[in-house]
Structure formats: C-alpha cells, structure tokens
A and B are shown apart, each in its own frame.
Chain A
Amino acid sequence: MSRSNQSTLTQNPLEKTWVPWMKGRLNKRRGSSVPQFTNSPTLIVMVGLPARGKTYISKKLTRYLNWIGVSTKAFNVGEYRREATRSYNSYEFFSPDNTEAMEIRKTCVTAALKDVYDYLTRYQGQVAVFDATNTTPERRQVILSFAKDNGYKVFFVESICDDPEIIAENIKQVKLTSPDYTDCDKEEALVDFLKRIECYQQTYVPLDDHTDRNLSYIKIFNVGSRYLVNKVQDHIQSRTVYYLMNIHVTPRSIYLCRHGESELNLVGRIGGDSGLSHRGTKFASALGDYMRSQNISDLKVWTSHMKRTIQTAEFLGVQYEQWKALNEIDAGVCEEMTYEEIQEHFPEEFALRDQDKYRYRYPKGESYEDLVHRLEPVIMELERQENVLVICHQAVMRCLLAYFLNKNDDELPYLKCPLHTVLKLTPIAYGCKVQSVFLHIEAVNTHRDRPENVDVDRDPEEALETVPDHM
C-alpha cells in the first residue's frame, strides 16, 4: 500500500478531525470522529412467545444504538403481516394447522428479510433487529442461513417469562391498543390474545444450552432477574448485552431541567461557569416546591460540576450527585462569547455550525456528537435507576431528551429546552410520555433557531437574525 506523505494531514473544518489528504479526497473512514467498531453488519434476532416484551426490547435497543451512533433499524414481522392480510379476524390465523396463513406468514418473513438485506448491505446500516417470535429451530435456521449468505453476524435475544402478572400487564399496555384489536371489546381481545399465545406454545423450542451452544445469544428470564449469555463475539454484542442487563420495566419518572437562569444567560453569553441570577434562584426555590409536590420517595438528584446546576440543587435540600459528564458542551475558543462576538471573530465557524450543528466541533471544544459519547454512562445509569431529577444544561438536556424521545441527529441540536421548565418523562407502552411544566418564573430565551442562510459568505445580519434577545 503506497503511503501518503506524513505532512499531508488536513483538519476537517467541521469536526476538527485530522485526516490524511489522499489523492485529493478526504479519507472518510479514518476521519470518523468516533471509533468504528463493527465491520460486519449485525443481525439481532428476537425470540419468544407473544407478550414477552420482544417489540419493547427491539424498539428500545434500536433507539439506544442509534443514539450512540450505530445506525440501526427494527423490522417487525407483525407489521408486515398486518400489511399483507389487512383485516385480522382472530387467533385462528396463528393456528399451526392453518396452512394458508402459514404461507402468508412465511412470505412476510421473506419480505422482512429482504428489507433487512436492503438496509444492511445496500444502505450500509450497521445493525438490523429482526422482531418476530422465531420460536422454532427451523425458522431460526432460515435466518442463520440468510445471515451467512450475506456475511452478517447473528445475535439472538430471547425473552422468557412465565409470570402471569407480567404477561397480563404487557397485553394491557400494548396489545389491546394494537391495530389488530381496534374494534374489539377489551375482554374479547384479551381472550383472543391468550389463545394466540397458545398457538405458539405448542411448537415453541427455546434456545437450547447444548444444541445451540455455538450460537451467540442472551436469554432474559422474567424481565431481568436472570440472564444467560452465550458466545459474545464482538464489541457491539457486548454493548448490547450490557444495555439489556441494565434496563428494567419498573414504573418511574425522569425529570429533566436546566439550572436556573445564570448571570451569563442574562447577557447572552454561552458556556462559562457563572452563578444564578436573581430569577434563577427563584426558579430553584420553585423547583424545590414542585419536586416536593410530586411526592416521590427515594428521588435521586444529579447535577453537573458547574456552579449553576449545583446552586440550583442546593435549594432542594436533599442529597445530590455531581457528574462531570453532565457539564455543558465545551465551546472551546468561543467560551463566554455572545453570538454576535462569535460572528465577528469566527464567521466561518459560525456558518459551519449552522450547516451541521450535530457534528460541528468548536475549535478546542466539543460537538454534540462528542457530548452524546460523554453522556452514555449517564444514560446507562438512568436506565438502572428509578426516579431521578437531572439538573443540567441546554445542549446536555437536548442530548438526553433525544435519547428518550428518539430524535435524530438533525433534530437533536434544535430541541426546545427552555430555562425554568421541567420535562417529566414517563415510560409508557413502547415510548415515553412527556409532560412539560413551566414553573412560572420568567427567564431569557437561549434558543437560537437555524437561520435561513448558512453559507460562509452570508452577511452578519443573516447569521444573527435568529439570535434571541439579551441584555
């Protein structure tokens, strides 16, 4: 392999990463801002009877992997079936002797696998999650062959549960509202669904310790009280296992808010480590009242290492943990500047940021992409915990919110996270309910929308037109 001259490293102006200038083109892979861990694409295959949380796990895992930068997509065979048959009549569709239905179901699997192929091979996705019951060795073999033909690694995730209460709760939360049961009364739907489960039970063969000893898989028993992990092959599977072992379904709420309005906020300056303004302290006090009104036992409170979040927490009168990882995005050379000053001194940087706010890294600072990596242990611990209040910062809160609400890279840096507003997130069904609570203490607006003109040759007025008011 011919080597490029050592002195021809060039710094990508957006991400500030050094890349070799080879043959006049920037080498994409070397310049990536995060290490690339997967070479072969991975096919994650769910296994389990209906109402065992497979779709819950698929969606959550997909959300997590996308958030940490691994392009992932879930393929739910049930949806393909709904497309194919339009109207669901009854559990009889799933009876093992219903040959006509069997054909349809097989076709759906094939269609889904074709889309998996498109995603992983043509579209260059990294992980596909194949969400179906996959309860027989024959079906699993079909998938293994498919993966082998295409050079995908396979990792099975089996959910085993025999606790009738959990199953009933699952059915209530996600099945009764499924399109399959829109015109049914709840009792009828429940009865039909339980019969559906029975159809699978007859032919269900769980992953076997001996027969399947060469497969890579995790078996989850009773929503996480026990796990069996077999032959983890690589980094992405290891991270997947770690994630799955940390999530739970115990009801709880996560409260996200920013510190109270700070001195630097008032004058439109970004970053820094200033204290609370007068209104900021009033917010902190109101936050204390609000959290008390929520009447939560065993609430954990987390702050960053920056004065303004800690000052806010002090008003709550309870213990809190300081996380350096929750510090605001480092604006590098732009720390403590106003947007006007950034436009004046670094107009090109300012424009690049507007072009790709997620990947843009401040000179000697960070990008949102860096933030997400920094916040990953916070998210992992949030998954482990129950009721938590996180007092953080604008960019940080946007990253955390994007994780919970499944927002992509383009949306994330523009999520609205105003001062003095608490977001209460409560997991429900396959997603997250959000309640926005403004605590009625006025504060400056710190949200700058993307302007129309993002060219580096734009006029200052065009650059500054979306800057919010300040003193």
Chain B
Amino acid sequence: MKHRSPSEQHHGKHPRVGDCGAAASSTAQDGMEDRTPTTPRELTQNPLKKIWMPYKNGLPEKHISQRKVCMTNCPTLIVTVGLPARGKTYISKKLTRYLNWIGVPTREFNVGQYRRDFVKIYKSFEFFRPDNEEGLKIRQQCASAALNDVRQYLTEDGGQVAVFDATNTTRERRETIVQFAEQNGFKVFFVESVCEDPDVIQENIVQVKLCSPDYTNCNTDEAVEDFMQRIKCYENSYETLDEVLDRDLSYIKIIDVGQRYLVNRVLDHIQSRIVYYLMNIHITPRSIYLCRHGESELNVKGRIGGDSGLTARGKQFAKKLGQFIQTQSIVDLKVWTSQMKRTIQTAEALGVPYEQWKALNEIDAGVCEEMMYEEIQEGYPLEFALRDQDKYRYRYPKGESYEDLVQRLEPVIMELERQENVLVICHQAVMRCLLAYFLDKTAEELPYLKCPLHTVLKLTPVAYGCKVESISLNVDAVNTHREKPENVDVTRMSEEALITVPAHH
C-alpha cells in the first residue's frame, strides 16, 4: 500500500472508485479559488415546503440546496458478505427500511430471489455444491442480472443506495463487484456478518428459512438438515474480509450479532450513518407499544396542536392504559412521552418513571396552531389545498412538515432500536412517522396511517418484519383522522375541502 501523508490518510479519503463529481447546478463552480464575483440570484419561497430557492425567468432553478443535506453524491453499493443464515437478508431489509425512512432512496437486491425466479423449483442443497457446474453457472447469471438491475436503479431510476444481498463469500466474487462499481462510479461498502454460535444460527433457520419458498414441501427436520448441508457447501471456499488483504476496502464486520464490530475506512456521511445504525440494532425479542395521549380538550373541539390537558375520557384512557400495562407483565418497560401536557398527564396515570422527549412533540402547525380545519380553510385556503396535494412534504407557514418530523424523530428511532421494551406515548403525526418506520410505509402512505385515540399498537419484530397488534382500550374518543379529499385543487369549493373533516363539537 502506498504510504500516504497524514493529510491524505483521513479515513481513506480518496475512494478507490473513480471520481464522482458533485451534481451540478447550472451555475456550478467548484472551489473558492480565484474567480470574479457573481451577482446573486433572486430568491423565491417554494409554497409547499416553504424553502427559499433561487429562480430565473420566473422559474425555480434546480439547485443542489434542494437535495438532502450531506447525502452522498455518488450512489453507494452496499454488499453483504457471509455464510447462509448469518442475518444478511435481515440486515439488508432493515437497513433498506431505515435509509428509505430517513429519505435516502434505497432498494435491496436479493440474489437468492433471482435464483428462485430462474430455477423455479428447488430440489436440494446439491444445487449449491461447489462442483455443480450447472448450478454455478446459473448462480453467476443471477448475480449478473441482479447487478444489472442495481445499475439501472442507481443510474436511471433515481436510487441513491443499492443493497446487494448475497453470500459474496469469495474474494474473487467481491473483486468482480468492486470492478463493476468502479466502472459505474459507485462507492462500495461491505457489510459482513460472522457468527459461529450454533444457537443463533439454529434460531435464524427456524425463523426465516423453514418458511422460505425453497422448503414449502419439506418437514422441519428435512429442511434443517438440507439447509445445514447448504451452509457446508460455502464453508470451504469462504474467505472472510481480511485486515491486511482487504485493508483498502470500506467495510464493517459484524461479529456474533453485534458483540464486536470491525470498521474499516468509512468514506463518507452515509457510510458513517450506516455503521452507527448497524451498531445500534439488536435481535433480542421485545415489544414496542405506541399510543397517543388520552383525548384532549382541543381534540373534542376539533382543534389541532396546542398544549391542552386531558378530558374526562382521556383520563379514563390513561387509567386503563395503566391497567393494560400491568396485565402485559412487561419486563423492564421504559415509558417515553413528549413534553406536551397531554402525554405527560397520560403517563402520570401509569405510576412508573417516564422520560420526556422534546423530539416527540406533535408536529408544529405554525400559524395554524389551535385552529379547526374549518378555520384553516377560511383563513388559508391555498395552504389547506397544498397540504392535501402533498401532505408529506407540506410545511405549515412557520411550522413543520412530516418530512421535518421524520428528521426530528431519527434519534428517537435510533434509541428505540437500542432499547428493548418501550411504551411511547405521543401524538397523531408523530405516531404515524414512527409506525411508518416499523411497517415500512412510503412517504405517500405515512400521513394517512390510521392512529386513532385510545388505541395501543403493539409491535413485535418477527422474521424480516414486524407483527402489529391493535388494542382498543374501549374508551370512546373523537375521531381525529382526516382523509385526503377528492378535490385537492386550490380552486376547489370550501365544501369539497371540508368534506372529510371528522365530526367534533
């Protein structure tokens, strides 16, 4: 390895992949070296997101300032490495879900899936034998097909991160991928999962392999036996990422489900965030309980936001919530609230310690705080329509958008990943954002997720996803859910705008 001076050595700053130039705006200039001063562009405020952007000829200019802050300019290819049943697909799916939630368009490409689509019927582990030439050829083709789709996704379909989920257990295979990435201007980051604990491997097989399409017609023992043999096929040729041989690669090696991590040459912001995320997740069984505060005074009046207290029914809910928690007999439950009176009042009824998070506060409706929908329609009909057009990105004047909320909630999600049993008492918009993270909902679905008052959602991670149990505590409350109306034009009539407003006093 060429000896680099300290200034170059910073985290391997010069990536192996070719120069990925920054996305250019029409007036892009690279450094602040000697250049003549420019005239500043006029600014206009985007009516939906309330973001100030330069415009020219009456039209907003595409400018890098609209892009997500600090996200990579080069697309990134994440490559999993590891024997079967080491959690590669679990990690791929979870990471993909997280990155999409924080606004980084990400997709996973599971080579096993390509193989299933191609080979149709899985016979036995013999397909994976290293001397099965036909098998090898097919597997090679599947990997190539997947990489082709990766290229399409990252270069043409607007993807920023692709997760290439396969065993990739030989140095040769990994070198092919690195070259592919280099040719296309992608950065590469490897995620290797190494685990020798037979209990963990057994549990993996039970949770996700036995119900795989490969084993639909097998009984449990046959399936386990076959899968063990499948793993053996890979073991002989497995070349783990090596401290010396692979020192120029960027990677994280996860050992024994997170006991240890080896992190090498993190190149940029997105890789740093990925490492942080992977180091915080765990697979210890637990449940997360999400609910809103009890019904509030402003709820019954049909007013949004504010900082009011609970109604009598709200207090009843709080009491029942306490009883519910008791019956669940949860080990070491943590309780979190926002800093708004209504969630804290709810938590007080539980009789256990709780933590207040400002980050869990309800979405700030800015100038529309404490208004009824009818009043918003009357005072701000344009705003009301814009919100219906794009509820996720719409930012209230002097307030927030769902998109802002997600950013604000990211540390909450990170801590939820670290924790075990948690009850989060929050608010409608906040709960929608958290739920969207756990249930992998899109930006379009998120703002319309149903999170009624006086209902607890119990989320339990299972296999690759999350089981949801909805528990109504049988205390009546107003409905606060407003569906998207048919007509979202700014020219619509008041009645059309207000048609989906739920009933209130």
- Per the bound structure, the CA–CA distance linking A291 and B31 in Å amounts to 10
Name B33's contact: one of A222, A292, A306 (CB within 8 Å).
A292
Q: Which residues of A contact B54 (CB under 8 A)?
A: 314
Q: Are A18 and B339 in contact (CB under 8 A)?
A: yes
Does any Cβ of B come within 8 Å of A442's Cβ?
no
Q: Are A34 and B358 in contact (CB under 8 A)?
A: yes
Interface SS of chain A? loop
Q: Are A169 and B52 in contact (CB under 8 A)?
A: no
Does any Cβ of A come within 8 Å of B469's Cβ?
no
- Per the bound structure, the CA–CA distance linking A310 and B52 in Å amounts to 7
Q: Which residues of A contact B415 (CB under 8 A)?
A: 35, 235
Nearest B residue to A29 via CB reads: B353
Q: With A7-B309, A33-B356, A297-B31 given, is the CB distance from A284 to B70 under 8 Å?
A: no
Binds B, one of A84-92, A105-113, A139-147, A244-252: A244-252
- Per the bound structure, the CA–CA distance linking A6 and B340 in Å amounts to 14
Nearest B residue to A299 via CB reads: B32
- Per the bound structure, the CA–CA distance linking A364 and B310 in Å amounts to 19
Q: Are B70 and A381 in contact (CB under 8 A)?
A: yes
Binds A, one of B118-126, B177-185, B275-283, B478-486: B275-283
Q: How many A-B residue pairs have CB under 8 A?
A: 204
Q: Are A227 and B32 in contact (CB under 8 A)?
A: no
- Per the bound structure, the CA–CA distance linking A288 and B43 in Å amounts to 18
- Per the bound structure, the CA–CA distance linking A246 and B276 in Å amounts to 10
Does any Cβ of B come within 8 Å of A206's Cβ?
no
- Per the bound structure, the CA–CA distance linking A242 and B345 in Å amounts to 35
Q: Are B339 and A17 in contact (CB under 8 A)?
A: yes
Q: Are B279 and A298 in contact (CB under 8 A)?
A: no
Does any Cβ of A come within 8 Å of B260's Cβ?
yes
Q: Are B40 and A238 in contact (CB under 8 A)?
A: no
Q: Are B345 and A319 in contact (CB under 8 A)?
A: no
Does any Cβ of A come within 8 Å of B198's Cβ?
no
CB under 8 Å from chain B, chain A span 215-238:
222-232, 234-235, 238
- Per the bound structure, the CA–CA distance linking A35 and B351 in Å amounts to 18
Q: How far is the CB of A325 from chain B (nearest CB, A)?
A: 8
Q: Are A9 and B32 in contact (CB under 8 A)?
A: no
Does any Cβ of B come within 8 Å of A471's Cβ?
no
Interface size class of A (residues with CB under 8 A): 35 or more
Q: How far is the CB of A359 from chain B (nearest CB, A)?
A: 13
- Per the bound structure, the CA–CA distance linking A232 and B258 in Å amounts to 9
Q: Are B11 and A225 in contact (CB under 8 A)?
A: yes
Q: Which residues of B contact A17 (CB under 8 A)?
A: 339, 356
Name A288's contact: one of B37, B272, B309 (CB within 8 Å).
B37
Does any Cβ of A come within 8 Å of B128's Cβ?
no
Nearest A residue to B334 via CB reads: A35
Q: Are A226 and B264 in contact (CB under 8 A)?
A: yes
Q: With A3-B351, A4-B348, A297-B33 given, is the CB distance from A321 to B260 under 8 Å?
A: no
Q: Are A225 and B344 in contact (CB under 8 A)?
A: no
Nearest B residue to A296 via CB reads: B32
Q: Which residues of B contact A458 (CB under 8 A)?
A: none
Nearest B residue to A285 via CB reads: B37
Question: Footprint of B on A, CB under 8 Å?
Answer: 1, 3-4, 6-7, 9, 11, 16-18, 20, 29-36, 163, 165-166, 169, 213, 222-232, 234-235, 238, 241-242, 245-246, 248-251, 275, 281, 284-285, 288-289, 291-292, 294-299, 303, 305-307, 310-311, 314-324, 335, 364, 370, 373, 381, 384, 386
Seed contacts A311-B40, A319-B22, A321-B70; 18 additional CB < 8 Å A-B pairs: A18-B341, A32-B356, A163-B6, A226-B263, A227-B261, A227-B262, A229-B260, A232-B279, A250-B9, A294-B32, A295-B33, A307-B52, A311-B43, A315-B40, A317-B27, A322-B51, A323-B69, A384-B272
Write 7 A-B pairs (CB below 8 A) sorted by A numbering.
A35-B415, A222-B9, A229-B263, A230-B261, A238-B276, A250-B7, A285-B37
Q: Which 9 A-B pairs have the closest CB atoms?
A: A317-B38, A314-B40, A250-B10, A229-B261, A227-B263, A35-B355, A297-B31, A18-B344, A248-B10
